[in-house]
Amino acid sequence: MLTHLPLLFDFGTLVLIWLVQLVIYPSFGHYQVPNLKRWHTTYTLRVTFIVLPLLFGQLICTGYLIYQEYTLLLLLKMLGIIGAWALTFGIFVPLHGKVEGSGDQVIKTITKQLVIKNWWRTTLWTLAFILELLRQLIPGLS
């Protein structure tokens, strides 16, 4: 079971990021701005309780694997995860922070930016999952 724990965290992150990309971020454009501002505060608090355990679990599992067996595949996976974290805290957290304090036109721009820029994270976390899946399905691939 513990050998599959990294894949479990990677799959959880994969499902989450695709849900955000295809459903959650696009839905922001369908709210009237006052309603989005009210909902966004609740959304960001609630989603944090789902996101943080997945992100830390993924990071810890991958870090442990690298400590146990340093391979190019695991290094690439970790670089993708670190890249996704950098995007999250460097771009997305600040964008989300602007939603509550911005005017209507700025919020419309922000919601479009969230959808467009999130493809970067979607790609990185999808690749992290694929690399872990390959690592587990094809022993010696690393």
The answer, as to whether pTM is greater than 0.85, is yes
Two tokens at 92? 């997305």
CB of 10 within 8 A of CB of 58?
yes
Q: For residue 100, name the pLDDT band (cuts at 50, 70, 90).
A: confident
**What are the tens digits of pLDDT across the range 77-90?**
999 999 999 999 99
Q: How far apart are the first and last CA of the chain?
A: 20
Give the DSSP H/E element, type plus range, for residue 31.
none
Q: DSSP state, 142?
A: -
Q: Which residue has the tokens 């599992």?
A: 61
| Two structure tokens written together for 72 | 């190019």
Contact 46, 114 (CB under 8 A): no
Distance from C-alpha of 95 to C-alpha of 98, rounded to nearest angstrom: 5
* Cβ neighbours of 49 (radius 10 Å): 8
DSSP line for 41-69: HHHHHHHHHHHHHHHHHHHHHHHHHHHHS
Give domain limits for the chain. 2-135
pLDDT tens profile 37-79: 999 999 999 999 999 999 999 999 999 999 999 999 999 999 9
For the chain, percent of residues with pLDDT exceeding 70: 98
For residue 105, name the pLDDT band (cuts at 50, 70, 90): confident
pLDDT mean across residues, the chain: 94
